[in-house]
Amino acid sequence: MLAPLVAVPLAAAVSAGLIVRLRPLLVRYALARPNARSSHTEPTPQGGGIAVVTAALFAAGILRTSEIGDVQEWLALALGTVALALLGAVDDIRPLPAALRLAVQTAVVATLVAYTHGRLFPDMPLALERGLAVLAGVWFVNLVNFMDGLDWMTVAETVPVAGALLALGALGHLPPLPTLAAAALLGAMLGFAPFNRPVARLFLGDVGSLPVGLLTAWLLYRLALQGGLAAAILLPLYYLADASLTLARRAARGERVWEAHRGHFYQRATVNGLSVPGIVARVFGLNLALAGLAVATLLWPGWPVTLGALALGAALVAALLARFGRPSAQPLERPRP
């Protein structure tokens, strides 16, 4: 357990240090300028994900030993993370066709699933189970990218999820390799957080949101394979609900679901009068509650606790989505991150 505990401060220090060094270059070459779909009002550099991904992989890689996980699985995870970071970096500079992005993401997720051992549903044909796992992984990578549209939003999601996974690893509910990866991701996001606090001086960018989505999806998959399927659903439930319901609503209206927009519940909340700090604080608080429910399903296994936790988690998420969709008494004239 020593390696994960070292990984958190190590990744945080590397992430913050790289950001300090890289930010002048990002200001010069990677400014995100506001448009009709933006939540920010001033040109802001993006590309903080370069530091986050580098720090997470460095901390996990340097602390991984032969006793911590299969080397092939680790290489599939590390190389897949780098591949999606490169894809995101190119897309940040010059937007790529949606079909190309999807093809690369599918290849990366399929490779990682192939090198991840275990079965979720032993009675299901292996090809079908793996296909469903790839579909879920690709969707999760994209939904993290979709939801990264507000200062501190990805921090408010990733920090509680990674922290809960680290705690579950310490309790023996997660193998050593994903426990170490969760610790490294937690530290890297903590190092990034001060620069992304509202009003943000730096954005994560697709170079960060895509690989962070991959790392988180793999961690949740590994948790599910260890018998924590309910916990793996509860931990990202807010992101799953907001992104999925928004996608379904846009598809029903015949909109191009792959194009940028401001239709997510958290984005509507800014229009309805909630401040950005107020929104991310609510999301962070909800994620802490979901993390507690997820841990409960593993500490007290059995259908009464599992069904109760899932029902309560769904109710909490629904309540927050309803709050985000309801106008405040004094709506803001212009949302600012």
pLDDT at 43: 78
What ranges in 30-152 are assigned the alpha helix state H?
49-63, 71-93, 98-114, 126-147
Report the SS3 class of residue 118: coil
| DSSP codes joined into one string, 280-336 | HHHHHHHHHHHHHHHHHHHHS-SHHHHHHHHHHHHHHHHHHHHHHTSPPSS--SS--
Instruction: Tell me how far apart the alpha carbons of residues 326 and 162 are, in angstroms, rounded to a whole number.
Output: 30
What are the structure tokens assigned to 218, written together? 């793999």
Pairing of strands 44-45, 31-32: antiparallel
Can you give the residue range of the structural domain that contains 219? Answer: 2-233
Q: Report if residue 193 sits inside a domain.
A: yes
Please report the pLDDT score of residue 295 as a whole number.
97
Encode the chain (337 residues) as per-residue pLDDT tens digits: 788 999 999 999 999 999 999 999 898 877 776 554 555 557 789 899 999 999 999 999 999 987 787 899 999 999 999 999 999 999 998 889 999 999 999 999 999 999 999 999 999 999 999 999 999 999 999 999 989 989 999 999 999 999 999 999 999 999 999 999 999 999 999 999 999 999 889 999 999 999 999 999 999 999 999 999 999 999 999 999 999 999 888 778 777 766 666 678 998 998 888 999 999 999 999 999 999 999 999 999 999 999 999 999 999 999 999 999 888 655 444 444 4
Q: What is residue 39's predicted lDDT score, i.e. its pLDDT?
A: 56
Q: For the stretch 20-35, what's the b/e string if a residue is b when 16 or more beta carbons lie within 10 angstroms of its beta carbon?
A: eebbeebeeebebeee
Position 278 in a domain: no
As a whole number of angstroms, the distance between CA 191 and CA 17 comes to: 8
Provide the pLDDT for residue 260.
Answer: 62
Rounded CA separation 230/293 (Å): 9
pTM: predicted TM-score of the whole model, two decimal places? 0.92
- The answer to whether residue 71 is domain-embedded is yes
Strand partners, 32: 44
Reading the block at residue 137, the tokens are 């992984």
What pLDDT does 67 receive?
A: 78
pLDDT of residue 253: 77
Closest CA to 185 of 56, 288, 7, 6: 56
What span, in angstroms and rounded, lies between the C-alpha atoms of 308 and 325? 26
Instruction: Please answer whether residues 279 and 323 qualify as being in contact, where contact means their C-beta atoms are separated by less than 8 angstroms.
Output: no
* 226 φ/ψ sector (left φ>0, alpha ψ -120 to 50, else beta): alpha
Tell me whether residue 164 is in a domain: yes
Tell me how far apart the alpha carbons of residues 138 and 111 are, in angstroms, rounded to a whole number: 12
Query: Tokens 């916990």 sit at which residue?
Result: 231
Cα–Cα distance, 288 to 273 (Å, whole number): 24
Residue 68: Cβ within 10 Å count: 19
**And the tokens for 90?**
């190119």
The answer to whether residue 284 sits within a structural domain is no
Can you say whether the dihedral through the CA atoms of 253, 41, 43, 239 is positive or negative?
Answer: negative
Residue 328: inside a domain: no
- Residue 336 is predicted with a pLDDT of 43
For helices 276-299 and 303-324, the axis angle rounded to 10 degrees is: 170
The pLDDT assigned to 326 comes to 86
The answer to the question of residue 305 being in a domain is no
Total domain count for the chain? 1
pLDDT for res 261 = 63
117, part of any domain: yes
List beta partners, residue 31: 45
